[in-house]
Amino acid sequence: MTLRHALVLLATLALGYFGAGLLVVLWMTAPRRKRPEATPVSVGLGYREVKLPSTDGVRLSAWWVPAEDSSRAAILIPGWGGYKFDEHLLQTVPIYHDAGYGVLMLDLRAQGESEGARRTLGYREVRDVRGALAWLHQQGYEAENVVLHGWSMGGATALRAAPGTGVAAVVEEAGYADLPLLLKRKIPEFVRFGGFLRPAILLAGRFFPDFVPWEVVPKTEAAKLSDEGVPLLIIHSTGDDVVPYEQALILAAAYPKAHFWKLEGYGHVEAYEHPEYALRLREFLEASL
């Protein structure tokens, strides 16, 4: 084999390797839209459909569950590939409603019924949450009376969106503190031959101008919330096989005075099944507001 042939072969292999990583990134960020399979009516609550813009103009779909004569509201934020009708969101709405909160249930960009070209694992989704805050402000709800509550990627997004907004509190369940660290450790589990492809996947992620995974490090925003005195509730199970429990410990280290509920024996975003879930959430809300 000549040197030229060897170089062509190496270039072809490198291109194929990078291309495989690019395909994985495209899969991870592809839209995941779905029509609702349930609504708040299934938990005994009325609602209305809402269309609102993110701060960068993406048209988002949401449900608004009103509470009469209340100045308080909560925004519920699903995770990666999640929807506003996910069971853990639907089972959480009555807790807030019974506590006197209006509830905005949000489909993040490129998920559910919302528009948007791609999911970005908590990077641009920050603009969706801030768009939801702006919508609530237009309805007469001040940020100081609004709670952000997110699950998994939604928890990471809530943390990243909260600093500087003046929100009343943040609840994050099964969220990640450091996306690059999570990807490095979980890619081999999520993707076939992930261990081999991991460098190509991480490299491909750098080639998208609207997606910078290296900046999705919510432990940084958790520290800012600590400085601002915004109450934070961290809920995570040691049995979480999607977002490892160590991610919660990283958040707790960044915000030492955060309320921390450690569960055992529950899977990813399954805390709502715990018999003390409603009580723990109400106690946090009462202490925070």
Domain assignment present for 106: yes
Do 265 and 230 fall into the same domain? yes
pLDDT at position 106, please? Answer: 98
Domain assignment present for 36: no
Find the CATH number of the domain harbouring 69: 3.40.50.1820
Do 135 and 26 fall into the same domain? no
pLDDT higher than 50, residue 122: yes
pLDDT higher than 70, residue 16: no
Beta strands in the chain (DSSP E): 32-33, 48-53, 59-65, 72-77, 101-106, 111-112, 146-151, 169-173, 232-237, 259-263
Domain boundary, last residue among 189, 216, 243:
216
Confidence of residue 85 (pLDDT cuts 50, 70, 90): very high
pLDDT at position 289, please? Answer: 81
pLDDT at position 197, please? Answer: 55
pLDDT at position 18, please? Answer: 47
List all residues 6 or more positions away from 247 whose beta carbon is below 8 Å from its beta carbon. Answer: 175, 176, 177, 178, 181, 182, 236
Domain assignment present for 99: yes
Domain assignment present for 157: yes
Do 110 and 139 fall into the same domain? yes
Do 161 and 207 fall into the same domain? no
Phi, psi angles (nearest 5°) of residue 52: -140, 155
Do 84 and 210 fall into the same domain? no
Domain boundary, last residue among 216, 242, 270:
216
pLDDT at position 120, please? Answer: 92
Euclidean distance between CA atoms 279 and 289, whole angstroms: 15
Euclidean distance between CA atoms 78 and 41, whole angstroms: 19
Domain assignment present for 37: no
Asked whether the beta carbons of 144 and 168 are under 8 A apart, the reply is yes
Query: HSE (CB half, 13 Å, CA atoms) of 8?
Result: 5
Do 14 and 91 fall into the same domain? no
Do 26 and 167 fall into the same domain? no
pLDDT at position 288, please? Answer: 87
Tell how strand 32-33 and strand 111-112 pair up. Answer: parallel
pLDDT at position 4, please? Answer: 62
pLDDT higher than 90, residue 149: yes
At 113, list the tokens: 């019924």
pLDDT at position 9, please? Answer: 54
Containing domain of residue 87, as a range? Answer: 42-178+217-288
Do 23 and 154 fall into the same domain? no
* 281: nearest Cα among 265, 266, 261, 262: 261
Do 19 and 53 fall into the same domain? no
Domain boundary, last residue among 166, 197, 216:
216
pLDDT in tens, 199-211: 655 655 666 667 7
CA distances from 22 to 206, 208, 212, 269 (A): 10, 10, 14, 29
Do 244 and 102 fall into the same domain? yes
Map tokens 């009343």 to a residue: 168
pLDDT at position 214, please? Answer: 83
At 260, list the tokens: 């921390």
Do 263 and 124 fall into the same domain? yes
Mean pLDDT value of segment 226-245: 97
Domain assignment present for 130: yes
pLDDT higher than 90, residue 184: no
Do 263 and 277 fall into the same domain? yes
At 54, list the tokens: 């993110």
Domain count, the chain: 2
What pTM value is reported for the model?
0.90
